[in-house]
Chain A
Amino acid sequence: MLKNRIIPCLDVKNGRVVKGINFVDLQDAGDPVEQAKIYSDSGADEICFLDITASNENRDTIYDVVEKTSKKCFVPLTVGGGVRSVEDINKLLNCGADKVSINTAAVQNPKVVVESSKKFGSQCIVVALDAKKNGSKWEIFTHGGRNNTGIDAIEFAKKMEVSGAGELLVTSMDRDGTQVGYDIDLMSKISSKVNIPVIASGGVGNLDHMVDGIKLGNASAVLAASIFHYGKHSVKEAKEYLDSKGIPVRI
Chain B
Amino acid sequence: MKVTIVDYNSGNISSVINSFKEVAKDKVNIEVTSDLNKIKSSDKVVLPGQGSFKSCVDALNNISGLVDTLSEFAINNKKPLLGICVGLQMFADIGYEQTETRGLGWISGKVSKIDNQNGDYKLPHIGWNQINILKDSKIYKNIENNSHMYFVHSYEFIPEDKTVISATTDYSSNIVCSVEKENIFGTQFHPEKSDKTGLKIIDNFINL
Contact = CB atoms under 8 A, between A and B. Distances in A.
Contacts of A2: 125, 127-129, 151, 171
A123 B128 contact: no
A95 B14 contact: yes
Contacts of B187: none
Interface residues of A, number: 33
Contact of A71 (B18, B50, B129): B18
Chain A at the B interface: SS class: loop
Interface residues on B, range: 35 or more
Contacts, number: 101
B65 interface: no
A177 to B, nearest CB: 26
Contacts of A76: 150, 152, 193
Interface in A155-201: 166-167, 195-197
A89 to B, nearest CB: 10
B89 interface: no
Interface in B124-151: 124-130, 148, 150-151
Interface string B3-25: 00000000110110011011000
A123 B126 contact: yes
Contact of B12 (A71, A98, A196): A98
A121 interface: yes
B40 to A, nearest CB: 27
A5 interface: yes
Interface in B185-200: 192-196, 198-199
Interface of A: 1-5, 40, 45, 70-71, 74-76, 93-98, 118-124, 166-167, 195-197, 220-221, 250
